[in-house]
């Protein structure tokens, strides 16, 4: 899907390490290592990917590892290989069998959550 139109997208390949603050209008696909703050419409952390820091997205799909803070304003899926450690704020969640989560979790109220 993202391969057709890469405008506004960020791809972090396996073996790549990025540090900093990122504002991505469309899709962020992370197979490498990312540290810092990341805001995107759609965030996919691939199985080989790991993110440490603050992650904010509408739709978040986790197959890799995420540590610290995550906000998903629309939907959040933690796949069977996904591991999340830290705080989560979500509107809708699904955790596949085998998916792991340690930390605090909160539901975003429809009234205050950005849609």
Q: What Å distances lie between residue 78 and 8, 37, 41, 95, 100, CA to CA?
A: 24, 19, 17, 5, 8
Which C-beta is closer to other proteins: that of 48 or that of 75?
Answer: 75
Task: Show the binding pattern over residues 59-78: x = contacts other proteins (CB under 8 A), - = does not.
Answer: ------------------x-
Q: What single DSSP character describes residue 7?
A: T
Q: How far is the CB of 97 from other proteins (least distance, A)?
A: 4
Q: Output the six-digit token pair for 18.
A: 């990025």
Q: How far is the CB of 33 from other proteins (least distance, A)?
A: 22
Q: Which of residues 85-114 bind other proteins (CB under 8 A)?
A: 92-107
Cβ(21)–Cβ(37) under 8 Å? yes
Q: Match 């965030």 to its residue by tokens.
A: 43
Size of the site for other proteins (CB under 8 A): 17
Residues that bind other proteins (CB under 8 A): 77, 92-107
């Amino acid at each position: 899907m993202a391969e057709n139109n890469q405008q506004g997208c960020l791809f972090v390949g396996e073996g790549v390490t990025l540090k900093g603050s990122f504002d991505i209008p469309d899709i962020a696909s992370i197979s490498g290592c990312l540290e810092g703050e990341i805001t995107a419409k759609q965030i996919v952390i691939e199985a080989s990917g790991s993110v440490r820091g603050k992650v904010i997205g509408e739709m978040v799909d986790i197959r890799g590892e995420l540590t610290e803070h995550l906000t998903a304003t629309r939907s959040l899926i933690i796949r069977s290989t996904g591991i999340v450690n830290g705080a989560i704020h979500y509107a809708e969640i699904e955790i596949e069998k085998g998916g792991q989560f340690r930390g605090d979790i909160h539901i975003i109220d429809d009234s205050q959550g950005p849609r």
